């Protein structure tokens, strides 16, 4: 069982047959058609030579196929991680230099190390600190930033920077130097790719093509744009008109070499590598879980750390850069019928063949076409609907999302995600520092207790029933004390306070001291303090202290039992009362 956990292919490999082989090979063909132009484009986005994108799409796919738990996740270069790679490598070396490429390799190696360490320590839970609004805002802002950064390639201008505040002034200042042939190629490519993305498949189905063939041709849209633009550059000698092309692309398999082991470089890149690892892991696992659920399969988050770590190790030793599971290509892989991770290995073989046989043909590929490919891909990442939904549901979550977006656009991707995470944690502390507490009464004719402000309930003149809807810890301990004291002071006839704890999952040392203070202060005022509906693990922890020995009251199994024993008359009156409760639950 242990070996099957480490090597998931030992599980699905036992049931592999010709039918699954045919499904995987067809899926690999479709994904390869999509992935070749994307790999070239994302390498350019990362500030690396175009062929590096192909290198990052060979061995990493094979490594993930060996160790990953998802049967349909397609691993490789993705837009957001490419942007993060460009920002991190650009901070330590000049784009285009050998040192820059070494930094990209070091980032891939560090990401592999971090992901593997998280897998060993089973720390996949750390990704939970990246809340969905923060991740959604980060990805949307990254999509905008990536699209704006590609305008320089679409216009044929010089403009560099990691934020809108750096890019927009340069683009505006150089707009008069726009290269018209480049602009024409870029606009035609954008129009064609958008049309292919939305209209081509339905059109082909209407003219009689089989849906599967129509889908393959639609996915091949970027390939058609690549071929047409290369032919146009050669036929009309557009390089002489200032159209920038990819340039020489070496043919051959990726070279196997060790990345730089410079401790100083590693230290500089470590914060960025941590963020790249976390963001890539969250994006990858989200996609993998969604697709697995559609087939009633499951993935192992910690095994995904192993698979992604292995993929990044492979990228670092084969001339690539950080990789992760991509949403678009994974969905294509799924829809194309991929049955096992072997589809990814077949994709890697196909890309290796393309690198061997077709690489020189990419030399005349206009950079504007790759930029258009990136823009069309990343604009789908901008989720305006999610922003509206989060704003309508939670203003605090929207504040974290909005801050993430603004910081990514104006201060950079690292500042954006760190700022969003910090604000999310601060808002969490603020919300839980003032937990919802309700004075409750007994619902007439039942044993249930509900909020006196929402329901018609029976309350006791001598027993104060207070329900706290949050675990008790240092941030809300003082608030609990003040709330109890204020309620008792406002009710001179109170002789018992019962703290209902059905939502309390833990009580830390600070909260325990506050409970002890409440017991002593109420006792001095002639009021006994009780607990009810305390969970077993919480009772176990309380039993390890001397709190229960000093408790002036009792611990009741239920609030109904507490009321029956502390104020039998009121409890009996409530039990015999007729009429349904009114209002909302809570």
Mean pLDDT per block of 10 residues along the chain (586 residues) reads: 63 77 87 88 93 94 91 91 93 91 96 94 74 86 91 90 89 92 95 90 89 81 90 93 90 84 92 92 85 80 91 95 89 83 92 90 92 89 90 91 92 86 87 93 92 93 96 95 95 95 95 96 95 96 94 95 90 69 48
Q: Which is it for strands 555-556 and 528-532: parallel, antiparallel or unpaired?
A: parallel
Residues 418 and 483 in one domain: no
pLDDT of residue 348: 94
Residues 420 and 467 in one domain: no
pLDDT of residue 295: 80
Instruction: Compute the half-sphere exposure of residue 360: CA atoms within 13 Å on the CB side of its CA.
Output: 4
pLDDT of residue 6: 66
Residues 143 and 278 in one domain: yes
What total of structural domains would you count in the chain?
Answer: 2
Among the candidates 425, 456, 471, a domain finishes at 425
* In-domain check, residue 152: yes
Query: DSSP secondary structure string, 321-385?
Result: ---EE-HHHHHHHHHTT--STHHHHHHHHHHHHHHHHTGGGGGG-BHHHHHHHHHHHHHTT--HH
Among the candidates 425, 450, 467, a domain finishes at 425
Residues 292 and 333 in one domain: yes
Alpha-carbon distance of 41 to 469, in angstroms, equals 51
The SS3 assignment for 499 reads strand
CATH of the domain at 482: 3.30.750.24
pLDDT of residue 580: 47
* In-domain check, residue 586: no
Residues 321 and 441 in one domain: no
Query: At CA 364, angle to CA 360 and CA 369, rounded to 5?
Result: 120
Domain extent for 292: 2-425
Residues 409 and 479 in one domain: no
pLDDT of residue 582: 43
CA 403 from chain centre, in angstroms, equals 17
165 sits in which H/E element? helix 164-173
Q: pTM, whole model, 2 decimals?
A: 0.81
Residues 442 and 394 in one domain: no
Residues 421 and 448 in one domain: no
Alpha-carbon distance of 226 to 195, in angstroms, equals 15
């Amino acid at each position: 069982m242990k070996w099957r956990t480490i090597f998931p292919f030992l599980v699905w490999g036992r049931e592999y047959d010709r039918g699954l082989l045919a499904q995987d090979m067809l899926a690999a063909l479709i994904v390869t058609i999509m992935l070749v132009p994307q790999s070239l484009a994302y390498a350019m986005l990362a500030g690396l030579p175009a062929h590096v994108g192909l290198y990052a799409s060979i061995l990493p796919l094979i490594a993930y196929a060996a160790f990953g738990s998802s049967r349909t996740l397609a691993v490789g270069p993705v837009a957001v991680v490419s942007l993060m790679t460009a920002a991190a490598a650009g901070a330590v070396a000049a784009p285009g230099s050998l040192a820059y490429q070494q930094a990209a390799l070091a980032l891939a190696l560090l990401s592999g190390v971090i992901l593997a360490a998280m897998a060993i320590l089973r720390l996949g839970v750390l990704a939970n600190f990246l809340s969905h609004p923060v991740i959604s805002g980060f990805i949307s802002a990254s999509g905008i930033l990536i699209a704006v950064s590609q305008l320089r390639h679409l216009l044929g201008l010089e403009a560099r920077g990691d934020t809108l505040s750096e890019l927009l002034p340069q683009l505006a200042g150089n707009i008069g130097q726009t290269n018209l042939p480049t602009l024409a190629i870029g606009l035609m490519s954008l129009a064609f790719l958008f049309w292919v993305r939305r209209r081509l498949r339905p059109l082909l189905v209407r003219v009689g093509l089989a849906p599967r063939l129509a889908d393959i041709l639609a996915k091949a849209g970027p390939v058609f744009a690549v071929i047409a633009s290369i032919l146009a550059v050669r036929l009309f000698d557009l390089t002489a008109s200032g159209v920038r092309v990819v340039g020489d692309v070496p043919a051959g398999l990726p070279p196997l070499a060790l990345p730089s082991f410079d401790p100083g470089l590693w230290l500089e890149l470590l914060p960025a590598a941590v963020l790249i690892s976390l963001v890539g892991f969250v994006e990858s696992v989200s996609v993998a879980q969604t697709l697995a659920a559609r087939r009633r399969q499951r993935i192992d988050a910690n095994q995904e750390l192993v698979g992604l770590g292995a993929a990044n190790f492979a990228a670092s030793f084969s001339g690539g850069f950080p990789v992760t599971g991509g949403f678009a290509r994974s969905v294509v892989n799924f829809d194309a019928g991929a049955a096992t991770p072997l589809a990814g290995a077949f994709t890697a073989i196909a890309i290796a063949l393309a690198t061997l046989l077709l690489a020189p043909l990419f030399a005349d590929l206009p950079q504007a076409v790759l930029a258009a490919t990136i823009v069309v891909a990343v604009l789908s990442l901008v989720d305006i609907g999610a922003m509206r939904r989060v704003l309508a549901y939670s203003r605090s979550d929207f504040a974290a999302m909005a801050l993430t977006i603004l910081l990514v656009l104006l201060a950079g991707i690292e500042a954006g995600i760190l700022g969003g995470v910090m604000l999310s944690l601060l808002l969490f502390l603020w919300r839980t520092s003032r937990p919802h507490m309700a004075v409750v009464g007994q619902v007439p004719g039942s044993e249930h207790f509900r909020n006196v402000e929402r329901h018609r309930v029976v309350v006791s003149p001598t027993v104060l029933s207070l329900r706290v809807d949050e675990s008790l810890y240092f941030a809300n301990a003082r608030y609990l004390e003040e709330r109890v004291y204020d309620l008792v002071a406002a009710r001179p006839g109170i002789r018992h306070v019962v703290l209902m704890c059905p939502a309390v999952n833990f009580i830390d040392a600070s909260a325990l001291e506050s409970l002890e203070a409440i017991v002593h202060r109420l006792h001095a005022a002639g009021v006994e303090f009780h607990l009810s509906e305390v969970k077993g693990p919480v009772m176990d922890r309380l039993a390890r202290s001397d709190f229960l020995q000093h408790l002036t009251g009792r611990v009741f199994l239920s609030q109904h039992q507490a009321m029956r024993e502390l104020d039998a008359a009121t409890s009996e009156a409530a039990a015999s009362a007729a009429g349904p409760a009114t209002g909302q639950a809570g």
